[in-house]
Structure 1
Amino acid sequence: MAWVGLALLPLIGLALILTGLPAFIVLIGASGLGALAAAWSGSGGLLSALPARLTNLFENDLLQALPLFVLMGALLNRLPLADILFRTGTGLMRGSPSGPQVTSIGLGALLAPMNGSVGASIAVLSRTVGPKLVKHGVEPADGLATIAVASTLGVVVPPSLVLILLGDAMMAAHTIASNTMGRSERIINTQDIFRGVMGPAVLFVLLCLAVAAWKGGRTKLSVAIGTSSSIDRIVSIGTIAFIVALLGGVTVGLFYPVEAAAMGAVTLLVGGLLTGYLNRQALMGVLAEALAITGALFALLVAATTFTLVVRCLGTDRLLGQLIADLPGGELGATLVVLGILALSAFVLDVFEIIFVVIPIVMPALLMRVGDAVWVSALTILTLQASFLLPPLGYAVMIARGTTAEVVPIRNLMRALRPFLIAQATVLSLTAAVPAFVHLNGQPQKTTSALAVSEKDVLDKLNQLAPAGPLEVPSLNLD
């Protein structure tokens, strides 16, 4: 029955493409099919653990950050902060034709981690930056590429919601792998991943700024860039200082993501009310949008938790572990194969669906073989970001194309994205080749126990796994 669970994965992708149904409905349907197969084979007893898994899931305090990040994204979409920051940035660079594109990348690096999702970032940047890029003479393909790249910076720049959820999923996967292999090692946490991703994220942002400056230098501005007002500069300085302090404080561990999300959401809410940008009608729209997105994410999380339990009932996790253990090429070869699976998934699933569904299935098996969980996490998030930018099916590219009135040919868009993709490939290759790049803070790359595990040990441990009872079920614990 293990192959039934494996077959459900492409079936889910096809159902999402062909039916257009929400992901949580498709996952619940797939879970029902898998549960019937498990019951027919006599291995459905593990399903009795589902209530305990869901209770454990919703008792997690970290889930409070999810609606708060979503609320911040909805508020940023309604408030003129992005517009003010863009005017200030281009005003400071008014002597350079690259000002609009460089400012757009900087704006994405600053605001995207607070938006909660790639889609929310694209909505903000398309509304505020898109028309101004066209106004200043930037080619439509270049403008679209700039917006798509800037929106994905929230995936890799900590402490974004994506990294918070990935960190928690990787912590659960690392726990399962360590317990299965009998290793005594420190389990990674979200802060470890924040610090590990920081080096690649900073390098990628710098490369994107360099690409934007190079591309912008070849643009002939059709409209002169004006100067920013004193009020714009004051608001921009205060906003940048607040965001840097907020994001930096979480990254270095001064306060928790929930606290940062609460401070950010309340500050934006109070600022919008005091300035009059949030009247009763606008506020109701913001709250309705935040509630709808939050509800969809929680429904997805419940469906994904159910599906991963069904997959475990079918024994698919053990099958994947054996397949990964048999892969040639050592740790790097196994990691690259799993990253390829994630990249293909990104053409069908969004980042939250990948974190909730795919990561809990494939990562425990990979971390049984690979000792450096922080390195794997950094490669995972970089791979997902790169996949979102690959035309024509990249998630960010498809959404960005849908927000523009003018149709941009794929050929032109690929040409505009090429320098950014080269920069992304450079960072990804460097991180893969030099694992120390994610350990700049001096953390050990691996434990000695992880290094001592051979492929035969992995297979032996997997074969020794007995069907677990309800108390032994590893949950998607978002502590």
Structure 2
Amino acid sequence: MSTETLEIVFVSVLFGSAILALLSGFPVAFALGGAAILTAFAASFTGLFDMVLLGSFPSRILDIVLNQTLVAVPLFVFMGTVLERSRIAEELLLTMGQLFGSLRGGLGIAVVIVGALLAASTGIVGATIVTMALISLPAMQRAQYNTALSCGVICASGTLAQLIPPSTVLILLGTTLQNANTQAQLQLGNFFYDPMTVTDLFAGALIPGFVLVAFYVIAILVTAFISPKSCPPVDQPADDDRKLITKILRAMLPPLALILVVLGSILSGLATATESAALGGVGAMILAFLKGGFGLRKLGEASRSAMSISLMIYAILVGATVFSLVFRGLGGEELVTTLLSTIPGDAFGATLFVLGLIFLLGFMIDTFEIIFIVIPIFAPALIVQGVDPLWFGVAVAMVLQTSYLTPPFGFGIFYLQGGAKGTLALNDIYKGVTPFVLIQLAGVGILWIFPGLVSWLPTALGL
């Protein structure tokens, strides 16, 4: 058997065993790491894989631990868990509901706006969807909104936390793409190049995030026009204008101030993503304590929740590091380069193939797994073909949003069902999220047609 055939066989075994382990419910980090080590051990008997390569694993783990950008992940997660328990979101939704509720579809629009503000405050999809489910689902049910529409609006609004910065997904995606870009530039012989940073990705994702919010609002307005009974107006208590303005300012100013401080410090260059994450964590605690009802017990709960989520992310990252190391040792990079070069359409066809693959993988595995597995494998080859890493990163983030909404393993669906305490039928949720999956894919199409939506803000800020 030729070396190339052996490489194809063992790379297929590597991916097949990892996917089988994931589908069986085995913990993600151990599924990736275990499949990689077992495949490497088997391949070593054929002489295809040198086990000495695994000796570099400790240094790679040390690189992860010492990576200053990745320190921002637990800090942003902590900021999100504090805001989740502070009831700031509840007050925000009630106020936005009063502002828009008298319009047909207005409560749905309020949910989208609050979801976008929470996304820019928390950066965590799960926390945003659960919070929105607890607060907005009862209100939408009381207003006699169509159940499927309510589910779709809540889930889709929650996934904005993946695209609108500061986002833990963007941090991990940006770090992975940064490494891929370095690898690609060295392969091209470009030793002096402008590196892509997480700050660039934050700036590039901001306008596409707002475009997606606009698409959601338009979808709700169209639904209200076509089917008025599915999203009726809500009777609101009459408040004079001055009282309503006071309520809006009181509800919106705290989260907006936090967003401006965190994002403003990053985009202006005054602070790195890690420094602004620390600032955001402190700011979230101050807001929570000033609002009242947030004591040491809730702070402890928020800290434990943040630690649990962060450890899960880092464990997956460690497992994916072993996976990538074995993949390269098996000659996988050359196979990927050959595969992408044979796809019709050059860079266009190759990019479409990779984005389509990410979309399909979203039906089976989690966002973090896709980032840590797919991006290190395919991104360097695409960048060598001339694909802009910044544009590719934002497009990937938008496609990855669908992984939270696509059955059977769409985590956003289960977050919503958990927040609703099992009162929702899966059929209603699937029916509700399907139009929003199509909207998100349409958003990727808009980015393809108008790539300036990604590059304009980073260019304007001189990043």
TMscore range, shorter length: 0.7 to 0.9
**Residue number in structure 2 paired with 1:427:** 443
- CA 1:192–1:347: 2 relative to 1, 3 Å: same
Q: Is 1:200 the counterpart of 2:232 in the alignment?
A: no
Q: Is 1:154 the counterpart of 2:170 in the alignment?
A: no
Q: Is 1:211 the counterpart of 2:219 in the alignment?
A: yes
Q: Superposition pairs for residues 433-452 of structure 1, below 5 Å?
A: 433-441=449-457
Q: How far did 1:234 drift?
A: 1.6
**Residue number in structure 2 paired with 1:12:** 18
More deviation, 33-42/132-141? 33-42
**Residue number in structure 1 paired with 2:255:** 239
Separation (CA, whole Å) in 1 of partners of 2:443 and 2:37: 41
Q: How far did 1:316 drift?
A: 1.4
- CA 1:442–1:299: 2 relative to 1, 3 Å: closer
Aligned residue type for 1:108:
G
- CA 1:381–1:220: 2 relative to 1, 3 Å: closer
Separation (CA, whole Å) in 2 of partners of 1:43 and 1:99: 62
Aligned residues: 442
Aligned residue type for 2:196:
I
**Residue number in structure 1 paired with 2:3:** none
**Residue number in structure 2 paired with 1:358:** 374
Aligned residue type for 2:41:
L
Separation (CA, whole Å) in 1 of partners of 2:330 and 2:121: 39
Q: How far did 1:81 drift?
A: 0.5
Q: How far did 1:442 drift?
A: 8.0
Separation (CA, whole Å) in 2 of partners of 1:406 and 1:38: 49
Aligned residue type for 1:26:
A
Q: How far did 1:173 drift?
A: 0.5
**Residue number in structure 1 paired with 2:235:** 224
Q: How far did 1:220 drift?
A: 5.6
Q: Is 1:27 the counterpart of 2:32 in the alignment?
A: yes
The 8 Å contact of residues 69 and 175 in structure 2, kept in 1 or not, is answered as no
The 8 Å contact of residues 198 and 273 in structure 2, kept in 1 or not, is answered as no
The 8 Å contact of residues 121 and 258 in structure 2, kept in 1 or not, is answered as no
Q: Is 1:335 the counterpart of 2:342 in the alignment?
A: no
Aligned counterpart in structure 1 of residue 307 of structure 2, from 274, 291, 315: 291
- CA 1:7–1:225: 2 relative to 1, 3 Å: farther
The 8 Å contact of residues 11 and 332 in structure 2, kept in 1 or not, is answered as yes
Separation (CA, whole Å) in 1 of partners of 2:408 and 2:149: 15
Q: Superposition pairs for residues 398-409 of structure 1, below 5 Å?
A: 398-404=414-420, 405-408=422-425
Separation (CA, whole Å) in 2 of partners of 1:89 and 1:80: 14
Q: How far did 1:38 drift?
A: 4.4
Q: How far did 1:378 drift?
A: 2.1
The 8 Å contact of residues 113 and 155 in structure 1, kept in 2 or not, is answered as no
TM-score, normalised with respect to structure 1: 0.85
- SS of equivalent residue, structure 1 residue 172: helix
- SS of equivalent residue, structure 2 residue 394: helix
Q: How far did 1:6 drift?
A: 3.6
More deviation, 169-178/263-272? 263-272
More deviation, 215-224/333-342? 215-224
Give percent identity, aligned residues only.
31
Aligned counterpart in structure 1 of residue 287 of structure 2, from 267, 271, 278: 271
Aligned residue type for 1:399:
Y
Q: How far did 1:104 drift?
A: 0.7
Q: How far did 1:231 drift?
A: 5.6
The 8 Å contact of residues 89 and 99 in structure 1, kept in 2 or not, is answered as no
- SS of equivalent residue, structure 1 residue 440: helix
**CA deviation map 1:293-317 (0-9, x unaligned):** 1222221111111221121111112
Q: How far did 1:434 drift?
A: 3.8
Separation (CA, whole Å) in 1 of partners of 2:182 and 2:85: 41
Aligned residue type for 1:225:
Q
TM-score, normalised with respect to structure 2: 0.87
The 8 Å contact of residues 104 and 233 in structure 2, kept in 1 or not, is answered as no
Question: Structure 1 regions of 5+ residues with no counterpart?
Answer: 445-479
Q: How far did 1:195 drift?
A: 2.9
